[in-house]
Structure 1
Amino acid sequence: MSAFDADLRSLAGQAALSRRTVVVTSLATGFAMAVQPIAAQTAITTDANGLEAGEVRIATQDGEIPAYRAMPATGGPFPTVLVVQEIFGVHEHIKDVCRRLAKLGYFAVAPELYARQGNVATMPDVQQIVREVVSKVPDAQVMADLDAAVAFAKASGKADTARLGITGFCWGGRIVWLYAAHNPGLRAAVAWYGRLAGETTPLMPKNPVDLAPALKAPVLGLYGGADQGIPVSTIEQMKTRCQAAGKTCEFVVYPDAPHAFHADYRPSYRSEPAHDGWRRLQAWFRQHGVA
């Protein structure tokens, strides 16, 4: 057992002593309040034609959490992709990403990973989201909920979880790195502008840079060179640690792209790096057996 998994099990044991009630029992409709107004001229909308898509419930150790699931309407079992939310939760953009993956032939599922801590969809600004919800979400809880999402997919009979991938954005980009160090059954991971270093807390005891030796799957990191929240120096640090540990990691830094360059509903959207990153995601999954 790695030190990271030992830390997570310890935290999970602590959490078991004070289980939280699931307070978010259904997903948000539309976009989170904190990202209004939506840049309608660039927002991409993927229809559900030919898909089975919608809200589902995932059984966890302490109840059920809501999630969004999309897959082709016929055929299967399909390769499986976990989609990890931005800081804004599972709102319309994350649902749309699931539908995009389903159109490519994947079983895509995005669990609401803040379900016990609060509903960020109705909060008007990022500072409130971080203070009242995100800072209270334990990494151990997130890893367990993602494992539960894999179990849900497998039990459906429509998902081939032996071909398991994960992708995530912003807050979820960091989680992608953590999950790649957590689940030995993961085949490939794609992290979009996920934080790599910074302060730790008892609930978030490790940064991705601490976990390079523990990575269990190849990771593609997609970053913006103009991202003021993720210094390029931390990307170089992560690259060096992955190389030293003999891990398969690839980094693409788009020089002029800001944070959230894939978020097509926000002013931060940059079409060229977003499309290039999406193309690279597909190639990475094919290369490493998630197809």
Structure 2
Amino acid sequence: MKTILLLVLTYMLYMFTPLEKESSAPALCHQEPLVAAHDMAAMAADPAFQELHEQPLAFHYQGPGELITFPTPDGKKASGFFLKSAQPSDKWLIVYQEWWGLNDHIKQQASKLHKDLPGVNVLALDMYDGQVATTREDAAKLMQGASADRLAAITQGGIAYAGKKAKIASIGWCFGGMLSLQNALAAGDKTVGCVIYYGRPEEDVEKLKTLKTDVLGIFGSQDQGIPPAMVEKFEQNMKAAGKQVTIKMYDAMHGFANPSNPKHDPAATADAYTLTLNYLKKKLG
């Protein structure tokens, strides 16, 4: 009888104790990396996050630049909007789109940076393989459908296109802000600078330890998608990784630096651009 009772008690401990442990934190721990993996699919699927993005105003770019293609490590081709330096140069700025895609606004931003950074090649990567959204519903679908593997392959292809001796800085907005930091990590010793405009930061301190540059982060205090608490955590993680980060927080909404955004903040945009340009000139000087 004692043996049977002991077996029953052992069985009960085995069956029920693990369930109590699993019901507290581990389930959430398995969900968090889906966002931390930086495809942002979880955020794009959130209606609240979608509502942060106003329908963009119509804009048409007319100016210099050409569309190019280049191979990617996954055996495919990728494309980008390229503005070449007037003289031979190993200095590169890789530009990353917002969640809308490589639209005319991003082409204009790339052209403006190219004009203000003499001697620098500027390459705006097409992270959606030719697709561009004009509504937030379509943008959400494109961002959800952008696989982490393909995003990484396009980034690696762009870095390889710049060449073995390239000195690379990166910049991006929103979805592209996140990708700008991933570019800085992927480019390794070629990395000389990184600018993030209200993009989701890398949360893995061990990855941040591999950065070869400091980071300039530009955010909005009214941004509900990338809130101040997330930015503060990024500062803490960078400090823990032994890396430098400069944060500029504006009293502005998500996407405030996009002129095609109805909630565009011209004053904050101008100040942020001056800060960005001074940073990039120092890094690519």
Specify the TM-score bucket, using the shorter chain as the normaliser: 0.7 to 0.9
Cα offset for 1:178?
A: 2.0
Cα offset for 1:234?
A: 0.7
Compared CA separation, residues 243 and 36, structure 1 to 2 (3 A):
closer
- SS for the counterpart of 1:285 is helix
What's the CA shift string for 1:121-168, capped at 9, x where partnerless?
A: 3xx5323332x321232333222212211222339xxxx61x210000
Partners of 1:181 and 1:217 within 8 A in 2:
no
- SS for the counterpart of 1:228 is coil
Q: Give the Cα separation in 1 of the matches to 2:63 and 2:264.
A: 20
Partners of 2:171 and 2:196 within 8 A in 1:
yes
Corresponding position of 2:237: 241
Does 2:108 correspond to 1:112? Answer: no
Percent identity between matched residues is 23
Compared CA separation, residues 182 and 35, structure 1 to 2 (3 A):
same
Does 2:198 correspond to 1:193? Answer: yes
Corresponding position of 1:28: none
Which contiguous aligned blocks of 4+ residues in structure 1 show a shift greater than 4 angstroms?
none
Compared CA separation, residues 142 and 232, structure 1 to 2 (3 A):
same
- SS for the counterpart of 2:191 is coil
Cα offset for 1:226?
A: 1.1
Cα offset for 1:213?
A: 3.1
Corresponding position of 2:162: 153
Q: Give the Cα separation in 1 of the matches to 2:242 and 2:76.
A: 39
Task: Output the amino acid matched with 1:285.
Answer: L
Compared CA separation, residues 111 and 141, structure 1 to 2 (3 A):
same
Does 2:198 correspond to 1:178? Answer: no
Q: Give the Cα separation in 2 of the matches to 1:54 and 1:260.
A: 26
Partners of 1:192 and 1:222 within 8 A in 2:
yes
Normalising by structure 1, we get a TM-score of 0.71
Cα offset for 1:46?
A: 7.4
Count residues in correspondence: 228
Corresponding position of 2:276: 281
Q: Could you tell me which of 243, 266, 269 is aligned with 1:271?
A: 266
Task: Output the amino acid matched with 1:215.
Answer: L
- RMSD of aligned residue pairs (Cα, Å): 2.5
Task: Output the amino acid matched with 2:258.
Answer: A
Does 2:224 correspond to 1:228? Answer: yes
- SS for the counterpart of 1:77 is coil
Partners of 1:164 and 1:187 within 8 A in 2:
yes
Tell me, which stretches of 5 or more residues in structure 2 are unaligned? 1-32, 38-53
Alignment of 1:1-291 (within 5 A): 35-38=55-58, 47-48=63-64, 53-61=65-73, 62-72=75-85, 74-77=86-89, 79-103=91-115, 104-105=117-118, 106-115=120-129, 119-121=131-133, 124-130=134-140, 132-154=141-163, 161=166, 163-184=167-188, 185-196=190-201, 208-210=202-204, 211-254=207-250, 256-288=251-283, 290-291=284-285
Corresponding position of 1:14: none
